[in-house]
Structures are given as C-alpha cells and as structure tokens.
Structure 1
Amino acid sequence: MSECALNKALTSLQPGHVQTFLCGSAVDALGQLLSADWEPVHNCRVVTQTWKQLPEQAQMIEDIVATLAEVAFELWPDWYQPGSFVSSDNTATDALLNRYSALALQEKLEGLCQPWLKAALRAHQKGKIPVLKAFPHGLQLAQLSLAIDPACLVLAIVIEDTAPLEHRLLGLAKAVSWLADQSQARIALFISEDLSTASELDSVLYGANRFASTAASVASPQAVEAKHTVFPIHGKPHPFSPGEQKLAEWLAKDTELATLFHFNQSVKTVKLSPYIVDLLWAEGRVVVEIDGYRHHGNQFGFAQDRQRDYELLISGYVVLRLPHDQVMADVEVAVEKIRDVVRYRRRQLSLPTDFANRH
C-alpha cells in the first residue's frame, strides 16, 4: 500500500468504523504515517497511539482517554473549530459557555454535552488536562473526539508487540470496536503480519489491508518522544514538538526574523505535490524543517525528505534542515543559521532589508 493509498484508506473510513492494516513492521508503518503530507483537503485530523507492549483492555481505554485529553489540552483554544474560545482576557467559564452555546446552535453541532464542556473548561483554566473522572469513559471519548475534530477524527492505533498474550488480543478487538462506537472516530489499527491468523482478532481482521513497510526503523537510545501525536497542524508550532515551540519563542523575540516566518504552512510544488512545511518565509521562499528522529529515523522518512527537498528546490525554495535535538540543545545556533539563510536569500534575490549593515 502506497502513501497515497494509505491516506485515501484512512480518509475514506466511515465514522465509528475500524480498519486493520497488517504490517511487516508496525514501527515503520508509523514512520510512514507520520511522514505523509496531510493537507486540509483530506478533511481529517489524525491522532496516533502507540503501544510497544499490548496492555490489558481496561488500560487501553484509559490510555486512549488520556491521549485524547492531552491532545485537546494542547489544541486549545481551537476546539470544535479554530478560534472557538479565543479571548483577550481570562474570560470566566460561564461567559465562554454562553458564547459557545450560540455558536453551537448556529453550527447545529450535535452531541455536545454542556456539563462535560463546563468541567473541561474549568480544568483547562486551572492548567489541567481534561481527564474528568466524574464522567464515564464513553462520554469522555465522545466529547474529546468532538472537541478535537467534529468532522473527521482518525485514531491511528499502532501495536509494536508481535506476540501479545491471547486474552489481550481479544481485549484489543473488543476495545477498538468499543472505542469506534463511543467516539465515532475512524479507527485505523496497525498490527504485525504475525497476528494475521490470530482467531482472537477475527472481528477486526475482516477486510484488513496489507501495508508494505519499506524497512525496519532503528531504535534511537537518545530519542525520548511522546507515544502519541496529532496532525495536521496549521499556522502555529506543533503542540507536541518542543523544538518548534522553543524556536517559535526565540524567533518571536528576534527583531530581524520575527515577522518573516510562519509555522506549519502549506506549499504546493511545481509537481503539484502539497506539502506542509515546519516554517516558511514566503517572500524569500525559504523553508525550515525541524527533523525529529521519530518522523525521519527510518528509510521511508529519509527517502520522503529527499523527495520533498527535490520538489521544493525545483520550485524555487531553499530548504534548511535543523535536527530537533540540536534546536533543543542550542536554539541560539539554530536562530543564527536561519538568519544566515535569510541574508543569503536577500542578497540572492535582491530583497530589501533594514539589516544589511548589521554584524
């Protein structure tokens, strides 16, 4: 299955349904999933959940609720639709609810639970992730799914365990079907080919797709990354990329660079390929990519990066790649590299600058 076919399979899934993908390497499948370019045209938001060792059924559900709650927390204030809860001050919970009630009525958003929303807003205003134990898991799943993306949430579950206990496999089959029903998300289950004959998974193996992995990823002892992520993100630093967050903070304070770059922007190449790039200076046609190991530390990710660079190059863009670890270790050096590229492009394109005489 190609990247394009994978995107199509995920976005064509019906709400509340499960699609299983059999993989030679679930780790590599995750790398390909993360490396794919998800444009707004796909009309979906993808959240991933990875388990190295398959847990018990109850723990699976607890983990998924926690993952969706953390994603929702980081996506604030863009619940339900961008800017739903933006305010210039610390608006009281009741005022936010009153404002959103009118919006929800106007948009005819179905399934919204006002008591959950009120409790979630209060939790967020206290800086707490909205895992609300006063509400049953099913209701939390439905409300979190609605907040993250009311149109099309895809929950990609990746199981790295190639030999789980049989009762846990049965628990997995029951859990994913229940998750799909309660959240009405599209569930994509990535499991090893070794599990293709497991009778415990019969209910989710029917109609399974085979996913052709490119090569096994190599473990990185230095990589300590979250077991989940969310994409696509547009117009702001990715909430689960510390490198993007840190670079955004430093660029915002830089008088030369602050107004030039925008995060997670869409670019279409001369080959008509749509890409989302980490940072873009549109006027100077400069792209900055912050390469984390999880997205790029496998053969597919490496090849995909080379293809992106080639298409951006022939489309007139200069691409600067910064390793995520280096951005975190010395963000000042990263900013200076960006400054050097900006000044190079200004000279190359004869763009005006107020900073030509600096340094």
Structure 2
Amino acid sequence: MGDWDRVVATSPDSPAVVVHRTAGLSSQQATVAAVLDDMEATAGQLFPAWLPGAEGITTSAGAAPVAVRTLAVAHAAATAQSGPFLADLAAAALTGSTAHTRRHQPEVRARGLARVLAASFDRPACALVLRPPDHLDVAATLALGQAAQWLVDHGRLTVWIDSDSPYGIESRPRATEPPPVVRPRRQPRVGGRRTPSVVGKPHPTSRAEVVLETALARRTWAAGRAWNHTVRPGPLVNPVRVDLLWKRERCVVEIDGDDHRTAGKYTEDRHRDVMIQLNGYAVLRFTNSQVLGDIDNVLVLLQQFLTNRRRTGKGR
C-alpha cells in the first residue's frame, strides 16, 4: 500500500476522512491486511490523542509500556472496545512498533482502528477514501471492491473508491460525496507520513502541544485560548495558522520543533512573526524541549504575560 495521503476532519458531526492510495493488490485478503496495517501506522502517529491519560507519558522506558496498557484496558472497558487490542495498539504506538495488532482477528482490528482514528479528532465515525493506481487489471479491481465491501461490513466504516478504472469501480459513490479536502498550514512528517492539525485542538502528533494543553486545561487564567486557529496579519495579507492563540489578548504562542532551527524555516518564522506583530499581536515562541522539560517555567511566563495584557488592556 502507499502512504496515507491525508486525514480530513470537517464539522464536529462529520466523520474523520482518511484518504489512502492503494497499491492494487490481487486479493481481497492482502488488500484488507495492507489497509489495516496502514490504519495502525496512522493510529500510532496520532497517539496519545485517542488514549485519555497518556498525554504525559513521553518515553517507552521503564514502566511506561505497562502504564499505557493499563490505561488502554481501562479506556476500552469504559467505551466497549476490545481491551487486549487497544492495549497492544497503545504499547506499539509508544514504542514505535508497527502492525503490532496482527494477532487479533481482522474484524477486531478494523473496528478498533476505525474507532481510534475517529476518536483522535473527536469525530463520531471514520471514513476511508481509497485511491488505487491508474489502469488496474480485472483481478486487482475485483479485489479492491471486495476489500472495500469487507471494510464496510466488518469495520463499520464508510468507504469510497476514487478510481477511473474501466472495470466498473465508480469514481464517486452515487448517493454521497466525500467532503472537500482541507489542506492545513503545516503537515509534520512522522515516519514519512503527514498528519494535519485540527482547528481547536492541539496537533495530535505533537507531544509538546498535547502536554501543554493538558497543563493549561487545569488553570483558570488560561481561559480563552484556541489551538490551531488562523490570524490575518492585515487586510491584504493571507491568513496564517498559528499553534496557540489568545485572541482577546492578541497573544500568539508557537511551539517549535527541531525543524525550526534550519535557515529556511528560521527565516520564514521571522517573517511570519513580523507580519503578525505589525497587526498588534505578540508572538511567544517555545521549543518542544522547553515544554516537555520545563513546563512549569513555560506556564509561569504565559501567565505573567497574559496577566499583564489583561491588566493594561493592550490586547483589546
């Protein structure tokens, strides 16, 4: 199978739509197995967004794998999922393993992975858009159609096949169309795949953002924050997506990974900062290591800045 092309999450009531390029395998079983393996890889990238309580576990050393397994079993019991499956998936996500749930029946994997992907974006369900290569032969076309039907029947997924195959696969479903693709500002690469941010939530693959949000959620002074929203620097300037925003206080917070140290990225960041600052916003930047290694200091600085803004009314 190819890379997961993107994950799309639109309105809160719509499914999280995963667009995937298939390889055109010649059997239903092989196609289903490859789809499930890649769904598992995507779930690993989204960890810990789908496992409440695991946000602060940042290493696979020591008792961490046991801890995430315990959390997974408890979460599965509360949400009517398979405890052994979810525990295996959580342990694999923590350690970076792949296809760690193959010991479970495909039906269990399909339903479990569909729920995990939906939960990662707080969506009620998950849908797949399968995009095969051009010019599939009859055997591969038949296998893809059978695999899609299997995923519908056993995974409780909605599946669209986007193809121009001459052998009868529809390019779009008759009754409904997939939602429009929304391209985020940035698409961090993890293991060669891209995962987008979702408006209103910390990026699910950014442990620093998830950890910071967990800390901010317990503090009353942090009210009014918004993750992954856009700011328009000026009437003639395109809006830009920022990591964290307090709109009333006109405060932008960026969480920078190692890639921001490169010359090109550094220059781009400075340009963005200047454009935003010219429109009255303050830009505070913290590195991932600052958030993960010294969260208390980050919180003190944020609280001090926001308190000063509110007292002086500069952000209004």
Q: Flag whether TM exceeds 0.5 (same fold).
A: yes
Does structure 2 retain, via aligned residues, the 8 Å contact 1:264–1:276? no
Distance 1:347 1:67, change over 3 A: closer
Could you list the per-position Cα deviations for residues 306-351 of structure 1 after superposition, in whole angstroms to 9, with x for gaps in the alignment?
xxxxxxxxxxxxxxxxxxx999762211221122123312289xx9
1:183 equivalent in alignment to 2:155: yes
Alpha-carbon distance change, 87 to 65 in structure 1, aligned in 2, over 3 angstroms: same
TM-score of the superposed pair, with normalisation by structure 2? 0.57
What does residue 50 of structure 1 align with? 21
- Distance in 1 (alpha carbons) for counterparts of 2:41 and 2:53: 18
d(CA) in 2 for partners of 1:73, 1:103: 17
Is 1:265 the counterpart of 2:229 in the alignment? yes
Deviation at 1:129, TM superposition (A): 3.2
Give me the whole-angstrom Cα distance separating, in 2, the residues matched to 1:347 and 1:94.
Answer: 44
Give how far 1:190 is off: 1.5
Match of residue 122, structure 1, among 91, 110, 122: 91
Aligned to 2:127: 154
Q: Answer yes or no: is 1:346 the counterpart of 2:280.
A: yes
**Aligned partners of 1:67 and 1:228 also within 8 Å:** no
> What are the Cα deviations for residues 163-213 of structure 1, in whole angstroms up to 9, with x where unaligned?
210111111110101122222121122122xx3x634x48x98836689x9
Q: CA deviation at 1:232?
A: 4.1
Structure with more relative contact order (C-alpha pairs < 8 Å, separation 6 or more): 1
Unpaired segments of 5 or more residues in structure 1?
1-29, 214-224, 240-244, 249-258, 268-274, 289-324, 354-359
- Alignment partners' CA distance in 2, 1:162 and 1:284: 51
Contact 2:228/2:244 (CA < 8 Å) preserved in 1?
yes
Q: Give the aligned partner of residue 304 of structure 1.
A: none
Counterpart position of 1:207: 174
Tell me what 2:38 maps to. Answer: 67
- In the TM superposition, residue 158 of structure 1 has moved relative to its aligned partner by 2.0
Equivalent pairs, count: 243
Q: How far, CA to CA, are the matches of 1:172 and 1:339 in structure 2? A: 47
CA deviations over 1:219-265 (Å, ceiling 9, x no partner): xxxxxx967756746422364xxxxx6x98xxxxxxxxxx9996423
1: CA distance between counterparts of 2:281 and 2:195?
39
* Contact 2:32–2:147 under 8 Å retained in 1: yes
CA distance in 1, matches of 2:252, 2:16: 23
Compared with structure 1, are the counterparts of its residues 46 and 210 closer, same or farther at alpha carbon in structure 2 (3 Å cutoff)? closer
Query: Does the C-alpha gap of structure 1 residues 56 and 264 become closer, same or farther in structure 2, counting only changes over 3 Å?
Result: farther
Query: Are the counterparts in 2 of residues 138 and 182 from structure 1 also a CA contact under 8 Å?
Result: yes
Measure the CA separation in 1 of the matches of 2:192 and 2:118. 21
TM-score w.r.t. the length of structure 1 is 0.51
- The letter for the 2-side match of 1:72 is A
Please say if residues 116 and 135 of structure 1, whose CA atoms lie closer than 8 Å, have aligned partners that are also in contact. yes
Q: Percent identity?
A: 14
> What's the secondary structure of 2:271's corresponding residue?
helix
Q: Unaligned 5+ residue runs, structure 2?
A: 181-190, 210-221, 232-238, 254-258, 283-305, 310-316
Pair 1:105–1:114, CA change in 2 (3 A): closer
Q: Is the 8 A contact 1:50 1:157 kept in 2?
A: yes
